Amino acid sequence: MAEKTRRPRAETPKGFRDYFGAEVTERKAMLDAIAGVYHRYGFDPLETSAVETVEALGKFLPDVDRPNEGVFAWQEEDQDWLALRYDLTAPLARVAAQYRNDLPSPYRRYAMGPVWRNEKPGPGRFRQFYQCDADTVGSGSVAADAEICAMLADCLEEVGIPRGDYVVKVNNRKVLNGVMEVAGLAGDDKEAERGIVLRAIDKIDRLGEEGVRALLGEGRKDESGDFTKGAGLSDAQAEVVMRFVSASNQIEKRLVEISELPGAMDTKIGVHAYLASFQGSPSGRRVLGGDGPITRYWNRVTTQYLREIVGTSMTGLEGVDELESIADLLEAQGYGPDRIVIDPGVVRGLGYYTGPVYEAELTFQITDEKGRPRNFGSVAGGGRYDGLVKRFTGQDVPATGVSIGVDRLLAALRAKGRSTGDAAGPVVVTVMDRDRMADYMAMVGELRQAGIRAEVYLGNPKNFGNQLKYADKRQSPIAVIQGGNEAAAGKVILKDLILGAKIAESATLEEWKDRPAQVEVPRVEFVAAVRKMLGQ
Amino acid sequence: MAEKTRRPRAETPKGFRDYFGAEVTERKAMLDAIAGVYHRYGFDPLETSAVETVEALGKFLPDVDRPNEGVFAWQEEDQDWLALRYDLTAPLARVAAQYRNDLPSPYRRYAMGPVWRNEKPGPGRFRQFYQCDADTVGSGSVAADAEICAMLADCLEEVGIPRGDYVVKVNNRKVLNGVMEVAGLAGDDKEAERGIVLRAIDKIDRLGEEGVRALLGEGRKDESGDFTKGAGLSDAQAEVVMRFVSASNQIEKRLVEISELPGAMDTKIGVHAYLASFQGSPSGRRVLGGDGPITRYWNRVTTQYLREIVGTSMTGLEGVDELESIADLLEAQGYGPDRIVIDPGVVRGLGYYTGPVYEAELTFQITDEKGRPRNFGSVAGGGRYDGLVKRFTGQDVPATGVSIGVDRLLAALRAKGRSTGDAAGPVVVTVMDRDRMADYMAMVGELRQAGIRAEVYLGNPKNFGNQLKYADKRQSPIAVIQGGNEAAAGKVILKDLILGAKIAESATLEEWKDRPAQVEVPRVEFVAAVRKMLGQ
């Protein structure tokens, strides 16, 4: 006989969660909408397995015991280490290498599905979440980057973010590398300094220009008195970096100047008005609604400024040229700075980017859990990574791609009230007489045949109140009722539960008096009557 | 400096595979179609994470080292064992227990997604595959089982299996338990004998009645001379079991007798003709096309026979009553034995079924890899399992549900030529002049705006032949070409690649002469011209 053991806990593992009903269908609808755009752009779906060899994933080196730094990994009996994918890019690199003789080149592919991270879970941060990627492998042309930026803008509009409520920002790693060169921070021996500089740049929103400046020099003491050691740059070096850090402000200043030149602006709306309209919304500054002449200057002024700060660095100039090409290619397709802008402020975290990087930001404000307004921020990002496939083949394979954070995007739509989270419940056929289950099954069968979502109540039918409570929990629009009397008379009662709920909420019945919450209809016509009540 | 390491292998892990293009979209279309039916039946989607605690999965007890019997499992740093789900039922049981106060009761839910099995991979057997389940938790009514059988039939037709090409077979575990009782094999001390008897019954297709009979008695020597020890039943005991084993044949015989009674059949098509039409297709025997009167007798004769063989066993009689109710409820909805039949031959493997069990079988023949015709067989199955939630809560929670094997179902549709595996390729805008990339991007942008799937060639444009080869590989219907001359003249060339391929295949150009494979159209009208060439 089996030993008596304690009952297992019915719990989702720590950091994971379950999704119910509308949460599932809304995400599916979003993924379908995005897949539709990806498809139109010629991208083909790819579905790799959730499991990869740790060797192929690569990012994480096996330590003595187990290589699970950030991933869920385990050792097979045959000694191979396997792991759950932590993104969709690593599997793509593996596929691009494995099938390189069979795939079209360039290979445009999209992929959507869960990825797993073995990280400490936090509020709203889960260890399994969806990614939704599109990448072009095998093209070094900036046209591939431009295409993905345009596609990203289309995707956002397709899922319900109107133009003006988002901006796709483009930058180029080479520009930053060029700035580093000019500042005398190139070379393997300067890696430590570059690290400090990069981290300092990334803190501009929090520390402001003065704080960043301090971190570029000797260091900075924060309010608590703690001291952070700086990069130790000379004033001249720091000045070079600061011209990059303050790029957005400098570019705005120049635009204002241009707008004030006589004849420069042939419209009533000037740059001042634009900038003023976005005050207090730092990310919104870069959203230029409509086709004002400012959109003609914006990217030009930006690339001109960047060209100055990268000086004679070949890498830097190449980066600026690429940005200029991207802007031109996008403009040719009608994507101006009202949708996609060059923004030197975009410094994406991942180390593997080698050229253009891009990021989609939602520019509207939402209210956070503490009731404070805040910018919604980034919902997608990507860039060019020319080294990933080379790991496998030794050959250079240029690639560029984007990843859309569908869960964040869904949260944004909900925050804006553009997604209700409600699902249409089924019509519920109640059971008045348990011996006539066959009759109720016949009714529900007819409704389903007619394409109407419907159920028969399958719980214990004894307590009719429970059946109505069930219908309520199911957000059912209509309850179908047939007792013995109705059956004998060839009738069916339809109870309008939506109307019933409204009547219950409302102080006066007056406004509903013309519309009865309950009707009796002939059994033979009840499907048509249900359809009518549903407004179909 | 990093040590030089060998390159990683670009390989899918053993037993896993990648899915490309149409493989992904076809499966998605099938899942969408099935989800549509589940939705119409009032089932709500549920998406649990891929990862569960081993404790919650339950089926696999931890051994000393690791509990990975059949599952992919690993130990977390905090000592918890986690595992990839091996089906969608175990997570449902966990959810039903965890959220029992919040979920509607009964709770109808569907789930679709990959599951993982740590088994030896074989041809066509993978360690990750899709399941597509629907279950009703919290209803002990056989109406819940009947509903799922009807829904299963609807799903098969929805995805393209026509009526007559499938059959849903229903049996009841209680009938078999009743037979065991009558044969004196009830009770805990008879578990070993019951095991041998069950395994013997399961071999009926391979061994025939004589072979099964031998295994019920002393045992059986096979052709190689190996001896399998039998259950050691007496002749009387074995006779009881054999009446169950031969049920299908006995029921057919009775149907033939009934059909020969004067006045019994009021149609020209008799039982003989039905049976003859399915000769050589054992599973097809039970497919009765149309509404012949035989469908009126089939289930009655079957339940009558089963009632006889379970004798006075209360469990057995309860099982037969349930089958009769299921048949009645289905008939009330119009689901006769041409779609769903009672079949005592269905003995589903899983130990946890406690009542009705059901299975969907495709009845047409396909050609196997060796060119031999064979029955396609089972594509879905399920049943009632009243014990799974109890593991967690200690309370009885009746449940019943089905799992559809989408990958097998897709294979069936492909075998019948109902799914081509082809995808519509994009229109390819070629690059004649790399300096005019912005022009080509503008063209592709216009096509996409018009909802036409389109790409610009992003590889090295130097060799134009490579661009056409690329278009071919992409199954592109049209190549768009604009060199300097065309650009100057405001023209675009459209090359009809589908027509071109047909001309290349065909011996004579004669039949195509009225339709040019290449046309020159004005640039301003080229989107309309593309649309026309696509037949839109």
What number is the ipTM of this complex? 0.87
Handedness of CA B85, B86, B87, B91 (dihedral sign): negative
Q: What pLDDT is recorded for position B267?
A: 44
Closest alpha carbon to A195 in A231, A240, A219, A226: A231
Q: What pLDDT is recorded for position A85?
A: 95
Nearest chain A residue to B474, by CA? A104
Smallest Cα distance from B295 to chain A, Å? 18
Tokens matching residue B192: 């070993």
Cβ of B24 within 8 Å of Cβ of A18? The answer is: no
Residues of chain A contacting B470 with CB distance shorter than 8 Å: 104-105
Cβ–Cβ < 8 Å for A345, A167: no
Name which of A42, A138, A333 is nearest B441 (Cβ-Cβ): A333
Residues of chain B contacting A128 with CB distance shorter than 8 Å: 49-51
Nearest-angstrom CA–CA distance, A412 and A379: 9
Residues of chain A contacting B391 with CB distance shorter than 8 Å: 7-8
Place of tokens 């994507």: A335
Nearest-angstrom CA–CA distance, A139 and A103: 13
Smallest Cα distance from A150 to chain B, Å? 9
Name which of B44, B51, B98 is nearest A11 (Cβ-Cβ): B98
What's at B224, amino acid-wise?
A: S
pLDDT digit string, tens, across residues B499-517: 777 776 665 556 555 566 8
Cβ of A105 within 8 Å of Cβ of B459? The answer is: yes
CB half-sphere exposure, A49, CA atoms < 13 A: 23
Q: Is the pLDDT of residue B284 over 80?
A: no
β-pair partners for A166: A362
Residues of chain B contacting A46 with CB distance shorter than 8 Å: 18-21, 24
Q: What pLDDT is recorded for position B517?
A: 83
Q: What pLDDT is recorded for position B207?
A: 86
β-pair partners for B479: B428, B495
Tokens matching residue A205: 């929103």
Smallest Cα distance from B368 to chain A, Å? 27
Closest alpha carbon to B271 in B301, B295, B300: B295
Nearest chain A residue to B427, by CA? A42
pLDDT digit string, tens, across residues A464-510: 999 999 999 999 999 999 999 999 999 999 999 987 777 766 655 56
Tokens matching residue A188: 């393997």
Nearest chain B residue to A130, by CA? B49
Smallest Cα distance from A531 to chain B, Å? 14
Nearest-angstrom CA–CA distance, A177 and A173: 6
Nearest-angstrom CA–CA distance, A472 and B164: 39
Residues of chain B contacting A97 with CB distance shorter than 8 Å: 10
Q: What pLDDT is recorded for position A301?
A: 84
Cβ of A147 within 8 Å of Cβ of B451? The answer is: no
pLDDT in tens for each of the 536 residues of chain A?
344 567 899 999 999 999 999 999 999 999 999 999 999 999 999 999 999 998 898 764 333 344 456 889 998 877 789 999 999 999 999 999 999 999 999 999 999 999 999 888 877 789 999 999 999 999 999 999 999 999 999 999 999 999 888 999 999 999 999 999 999 998 888 888 888 888 888 788 788 889 999 999 999 988 888 888 898 999 999 999 999 988 888 887 887 776 666 555 544 344 544 444 444 344 444 434 334 455 567 788 888 999 999 989 999 999 999 999 999 999 889 898 888 988 887 776 556 788 999 999 998 877 777 777 777 888 999 999 888 889 899 988 999 999 999 988 998 888 877 665 566 899 999 999 989 999 999 999 999 999 999 999 999 999 999 999 999 999 999 999 999 999 999 999 999 998 777 776 665 556 555 566 889 999 999 999 999 999 88
**A215 Rama class: left (phi>0) / alpha (psi -120 to 50) / beta:** alpha
Residues of chain A contacting B116 with CB distance shorter than 8 Å: 50-51
Cβ of B13 within 8 Å of Cβ of A53? The answer is: yes
Mean pLDDT of all residues belonging to chain B: 85
Pairwise pLDDT comparison (A142 vs B187), residue with the higher score: A142
Tokens matching residue A153: 């803008």
Residues of chain A contacting B441 with CB distance shorter than 8 Å: 143, 146-147, 329, 332-333
Tokens matching residue B482: 């604009």
Smallest Cα distance from B291 to chain A, Å? 18
Nearest chain A residue to B449, by CA? A40
Residue from A31, A47, A427 whose CB has the most chain B CBs within 10 Å, to mutate: A47
Q: What pLDDT is recorded for position A248?
A: 82
pLDDT digit string, tens, across residues B367-397: 777 877 777 888 999 999 888 888 899 988 9
Cβ of A456 within 8 Å of Cβ of B143? The answer is: yes
CB contacts < 8 A, A to B, total 274
CA terminus-to-terminus distance, chain A: 60
- Cα angle at B238 between B234 and B240, to 5 degrees? 125
Name which of A11, A41, A334 is nearest B56 (Cβ-Cβ): A11
Name which of A24, A49, A423 is nearest B47 (Cβ-Cβ): A24
Smallest Cα distance from A262 to chain B, Å? 32
Residues of chain A contacting B149 with CB distance shorter than 8 Å: none
Place of tokens 């709920």: A501
Cβ–Cβ < 8 Å for B140, B126: no
Cβ of A53 within 8 Å of Cβ of B329? The answer is: no
Nearest-angstrom CA–CA distance, B323 and B142: 8
Angle between helices B142-158 and B22-40 (to 10 degrees): 140
Q: Is the pLDDT of residue B285 over 50?
A: no
Cβ of A44 within 8 Å of Cβ of B423? The answer is: yes
Residues of chain B contacting A430 with CB distance shorter than 8 Å: none
Q: Is the pLDDT of residue B287 over 60?
A: no
Q: What pLDDT is recorded for position B266?
A: 47
Residue from B19, B458, B466 whose CB has the most chain A CBs within 10 Å, to mutate: B458
Cβ of A10 within 8 Å of Cβ of B141? The answer is: no
Nearest chain B residue to A391, by CA? B7
Cβ of B474 within 8 Å of Cβ of A95? The answer is: no
Name which of B16, B28, B55 is nearest A9 (Cβ-Cβ): B55
Nearest-angstrom CA–CA distance, B245 and B344: 8
Nearest chain B residue to A71, by CA? B76
Residue B405 banded pLDDT, cuts 50, 70, 90: very high
Q: Is the pLDDT of residue B170 over 80?
A: yes
Residues of chain B contacting A58 with CB distance shorter than 8 Å: 8
| Mean pLDDT, residues B14-33 taken together | 94
Residues of chain A contacting B14 with CB distance shorter than 8 Å: 80
Backbone angles phi, psi at A55, to 5 degrees: -60, -45
What's at A17, amino acid-wise?
A: R
Residue from A1, A34, A49 whose CB has the most chain B CBs within 10 Å, to mutate: A49
pLDDT digit string, tens, across residues B242-264: 999 888 888 878 877 766 665 55
Residue from A40, A101, A527 whose CB has the most chain B CBs within 10 Å, to mutate: A40
| Mean pLDDT, residues B18-32 taken together | 95
- Cβ neighbours of residue B432 closer than 8 Å, sequence gap 6 or more: B461, B464, B481, B482, B483, B484
Nearest-angstrom CA–CA distance, A468 and B109: 20
Smallest Cα distance from A227 to chain B, Å? 31
Tokens matching residue A14: 């720590």
Residues of chain A contacting B328 with CB distance shorter than 8 Å: 438
Nearest-angstrom CA–CA distance, B467 and B337: 57
Nearest-angstrom CA–CA distance, B139 and B202: 30
Q: What three-state secondary structure class fits A115? A: strand
Name which of A19, A128, A392 is nearest B50 (Cβ-Cβ): A128
Helix (H) or strand (E) run with residue B406 in it: helix B406-415
Name which of B13, B19, B445 is nearest A333 (Cβ-Cβ): B445
**Residue B357 Cα to chain centre, angstroms:** 16
Nearest chain B residue to A74, by CA? B74
Residues of chain A contacting B17 with CB distance shorter than 8 Å: 49
Cβ of A49 within 8 Å of Cβ of B128? The answer is: yes
pLDDT digit string, tens, across residues A6-57: 789 999 999 999 999 999 999 999 999 999 999 999 999 999 999 999 889 8
Q: Is the pLDDT of residue B22 over 80?
A: yes
Q: Is the pLDDT of residue B485 over 80?
A: yes
